[in-house]
Chain A
Amino acid sequence: MSDSTATANGALAEAGDAHHGEHPAYQRHHFESVGQQFDATNFAMWLFLLTEIMFFGGLFTAYMIMRNWYYPAFVEASHQLNIGWGTGNTAVLITSSFTMAMGVWSAEMRKKGLLVLFLVLTFILGLAFLGIKTIEYSEKWEKHHIPGIRYSTQSFTNPQSDPEVYKEYHDKPLSPDMASKTEMYFFLYFAMTGMHALHMIIGISILGFMIVRARAGAYTTGHVTYVENFGLYWHFVDIVWIFLFPLLYLISRH
């Protein structure tokens, strides 16, 4: 009796082992193969990114309409943004996308040291981007260019009161009515770059978690789905900035 139970259990255990032997431990049982599992999660990540496209799409549409209506206000308000910081930040973010792509490559090649290195580099570049953004935001605070009760249109009704910007662009004074519309530009500026920065903060937090996991060897077993899908998110945030930069900083510099 006890023998037969043991045999039955042994047979079950063997069947189980045989089943596991067919595929790596990270393959979930409802997938036919690792490839299918990878494709399915990849597809799901893209569906999430599509909702993100529509989310930012609403902001971009609002920007397009307001820019058409209040073009002179948008031009002069955009002159307040520092082109050096903006270009530098674009370069920082594009480079961070490159280090992230290299991180995915390291995971695929199962190089743990390189993966940790590239994730740390991406993490640092992400923080650098937010640091530069903070410098830009604090300048807006000092100049009363944050929409709200403190907002001042002085730089636009009397451009000469703002000598640093005036000596570069020689903007003509706007009528008080049009000057008040610069607040709409800054509202969109903070809404769009703020939403983008929030995505960066979420991304950097996940990166911190991934660095710890990567050091433990979690992503260099051949199971690259997590790193790959996080990479998609990071590149998406990069793409949003690729459009925000020319639309907000480069409206009319000539």
Chain B
Amino acid sequence: MSEQFEQKVEHEEEHHIVSPFIYLTIVGILLVATGLTVWASYIDLGEWHIAPGLTLFWNPVVALAIACTKMVLVVLFFMHVKYTTKLTKLTVASGFFTFLVLIFMTLIDYFSRAWGRW
């Protein structure tokens, strides 16, 4: 019984109210980052020739890095994941992991299907 009671207390303490000041800071960063990504798209950031036939362009890398940063801020603060239970944190992380598996396994298939025949 006392164990149950402790669990209850723990749950009720977990509901964290995020302050409007944090929301304002985050929305400010998000808007600045939007401006930054538009500005960066007008600059040629060059490319990296990793190997013959394999080139990495820096522009999309920077654009995606900014988008990922924005996403992390939205997830942590607007969606309260920073203040939530371990179960929800694990759920969110596994969701993104599964998404990456979807992208990478599909790309591996596309890149390797005609391996050596290009």
Q: How distant is the Cα of A108 from the Cα of B16 in the complex, in angstroms? A: 10
Within 8 A of A (CB), among B47-93: 59-60, 63-64, 66-67, 70-71, 74-75, 77-80, 84-85, 87-88, 91-92
* Known contacts A39-B88, A102-B23; A253/B103 CB under 8 A: no
Q: CB distance A239 to B71 under 8 Å?
A: yes
Interface centre among B4, B18, B41, B98 (most CB of A within 10 A): B41
Q: How distant is the Cα of A28 from the Cα of B11 in the complex, in angstroms? A: 16
Q: How distant is the Cα of A47 from the Cα of B18 in the complex, in angstroms? A: 23
* Known contacts A61-B106, A97-B27, A246-B67; A254/B8 CB under 8 A: no
Q: CB distance B59 to A252 under 8 Å?
A: yes
Q: How distant is the Cα of A61 from the Cα of B18 in the complex, in angstroms? A: 35
Q: CB distance A43 to B11 under 8 Å?
A: no
Contacts of A33 in B (CB 8 A): 7-8, 11-12
Q: CB distance A98 to B23 under 8 Å?
A: yes
B114 at the A/B interface (Cβ < 8 Å)? no
Chain A interface residue bracket vs B: 35 or more
Q: How distant is the Cα of A94 from the Cα of B113 in the complex, in angstroms? A: 40
Q: CB distance B98 to A50 under 8 Å?
A: yes
A187 at the A/B interface (Cβ < 8 Å)? no
Q: How distant is the Cα of A36 from the Cα of B88 in the complex, in angstroms? A: 13
Q: CB distance B95 to A250 under 8 Å?
A: no
Give chain B's interface secondary structure class: helix
A65 at the A/B interface (Cβ < 8 Å)? yes
Q: CB distance A57 to B17 under 8 Å?
A: no
Further contacts, 4 of them, CB under 8 A, given A32-B4, A43-B85, A65-B107? A42-B88, A43-B91, A97-B27, A105-B18
22 A-B pairs with C-beta separation under 8 A = A36-B11, A39-B88, A42-B84, A42-B88, A43-B91, A46-B95, A50-B91, A50-B94, A58-B102, A87-B34, A94-B27, A95-B27, A100-B78, A101-B23, A102-B23, A231-B79, A232-B79, A238-B74, A243-B67, A245-B67, A250-B63, A254-B42
Mark A residues whose CB is within 8 Å of B: 32-36, 38-39, 42-43, 46-47, 49-50, 53-54, 57-58, 60-61, 64-65, 68, 83, 87, 90-91, 94-95, 97-98, 100-102, 105, 108-109, 228, 231-232, 235-236, 238-239, 242-243, 245-247, 250-254
